[in-house]
Amino acid sequence: MTQVSTAIDAKVAGRAMLSHPFYQAWTEGRLPIATLRDYARQYFHHVEAFPRAVSAVHSACPDRDGRRMLAENLAEEEGIDAGKQDHASLWMMFACGLGEDEAAVIGQKLNPETRALIDTFRNLSRQSYAAGLGALYAYESQFPAVASAKIEGLIERYGISDEPTLRFFRVHESADVEHSAVCRGLLDRLPAAEQAEAIAAGEELAGALWNFLSGVEATATVN
């Protein structure tokens, strides 16, 4: 039988973030800084909402060891560990490094696709443990490669190399390797009756992420 995580990987491959034209244009340096600022303002609101989805999956997890591992994930997102910053603050540092200010980011009117991404994550994380876990894996399994590509693009194409601006991506280069491994192990232990729901949720979340990028791309200027 195909493992649940492998099945989600196959679904995600068709809507992988790094294959989206918007991210490809960023990696190649074809987006104006103003477009990256637009993206940063939109995406902040997903980053800020994301810990609530992790919290819902954690609270629904029936496995004690699984809850402990998900709790560690949540603690990292919220910056609970001593000396660590919450990830929304790290993203704000990125936005400000592009020339934004906090008030503009916080007050940004959300695109319909941004709102749909936030709502999809929230709804799936509360639908069931299996659905929430599938959605969480579909996101975190992609992010180490995304983070590496964004760092490379920012440094080589935009001349942005200061660590405060890059820190969100530096953290996720490594953190989400561990987080996705945790989710993979939990997914592959799901009862057979719950596996299809997890796979469907992973596919749905991958689609919402893709559509979010399309929403930003719709108003973008590409050189």
**Topology of 4-217 in CATH?**
Heme Oxygenase; Chain A (1.20.910)
Indicate the pTM of the whole model.
0.94
CB contact burial 58-69 (16+ within 10 A = b; e otherwise): bebbeeeebbeb
Tell the residue number behind the tokens 């989600």, with chain if given. Answer: 8
* pLDDT tens, per residue, the chain with 223 residues: 469 999 999 999 999 999 999 999 999 999 999 999 999 999 999 999 999 999 999 999 998 998 999 998 899 889 987 668 999 999 999 999 999 999 999 999 999 999 999 999 999 999 999 999 999 999 999 989 999 999 999 999 999 999 999 999 999 887 667 778 888 999 999 999 999 999 999 999 999 999 999 999 998 776 5
Q: Where are the alpha helices (DSSP H) in 61-128?
A: 64-78, 87-97, 102-106, 112-127
Domain boundaries, the chain: 4-217
